[in-house]
Amino acid sequence: MKSTKLFISLKLKLYSTLGYLILKFIFLTNKKEDFGLENLAKIKLEKRPVMICSWHGRLLFPVFNLNNLNFFALAGLHEDAEIISGICEKLGWKMIRGSSSNGAYKAYKGILDKLSSNKKIYLTPDGPKGPIHIIKNGIVQASIKKEALILPMSGISSKNWKIKNWDLFLVPKPFGTILNIYGDIIDTKKINNPKELKIKITKELNRIEKKTNEWF
């Protein structure tokens, strides 16, 4: 039993290391263009709690473009998330573990704890298993409860692999151009009705994703 657990642990560490090296190569060989950097600059200076969010299918763009900023990221407890968590940690992210489908209470508590300390968290509001572009209630409730600022983000690259799963996950190919868009900041002090907030976040994420899709 111990040897099996050790083997699984070593396997996941190996996969996360390989994933980190491959993805780092991909992102380093791409040119980069950013729009809405003034919004990112604003939230970096904020003393209030901040949620940065993107749709799950565009997860890799925030993970690489917001690394080493002392931000927190949310990852589940399943094996795939273990690999993603390992990659994120190698990139300088701090991790909150748990998801709406596995360890929901732990994830929700972790989010509240970090927001209470005015930390900045990145998460995918339709993750980890969809439905695509449908925001989970817990994320909306936590942001309102802690009066967080929300920064929507999206990204795309000129050359992609598109993984045909529920979220149409994009993986940039090497030697292209990556575009990142930071959307309008949403203030939950001004929009504190859960239904209205969910609509507002959805519209802004869809707006900036549409802009990225039209770019290339």
Q: So what's the pLDDT on residue 63?
A: 92
What token pair was written down for 129?
């298993």
Q: What is the DSSP string of 50-95?
A: EEEE--GGGTHHHHHHSTTSS-EEEE-SSHHHHHHHHHHHHTT-EE
Query: Please, are residues 148 and 115 in contact by the beta-carbon 8 Å criterion?
Result: yes
- pLDDT of 1: 59
* Residue type (1 letter), 81: A
Show the DSSP H helices in the chain as ranges: 2-28, 37-45, 60-65, 79-90, 104-116, 137-145, 194-215
Percent of the chain at pLDDT exceeding 70: 95
The number of beta carbons lying within 10 Å of the beta carbon of residue 164 is 7
- Please state whether the peptide bond connecting residue 128 to the residue before it is cis, i.e. omega within 30 degrees of 0: yes
Q: What is the pairing mode between strands 186-187 and 149-157?
A: antiparallel
174 preceded by cis ω (within 30°)?
A: no
- pTM to 2 decimals? 0.92
Distance of CA 69 to the CA centre of its chain: 14
Q: In this model, does residue 28 exceed pLDDT 80?
A: yes
Give the distance, in angstroms, between the CA of residue 143 and the centroid of all CA atoms in the same chain.
15
pLDDT band at 9 (very low <50, low <70, confident <90, very high): confident
Q: pLDDT tens digits for 109-131? A: 999 999 999 999 999 999 888 99
Rounded Cα gap, residues 187 and 207, in angstroms: 17
- Residue 129 CB-density burial (10 A; 0-12 exposed, 13-18 middle, 19+ buried): middle
User: Which residue segments constitute the domains of the chain, with CATH numbers given?
Assistant: 2-215 (3.40.1130.10)
Mean of all residue pLDDT scores within the chain: 92
Answer whether 168's CB lies under 8 Å from 127's CB.
Answer: no
In this predicted structure, which of 79-83, 112-116, 178-182, 205-209 has the lowest mean pLDDT?
79-83
Per-residue model confidence (pLDDT) at position 101: 63
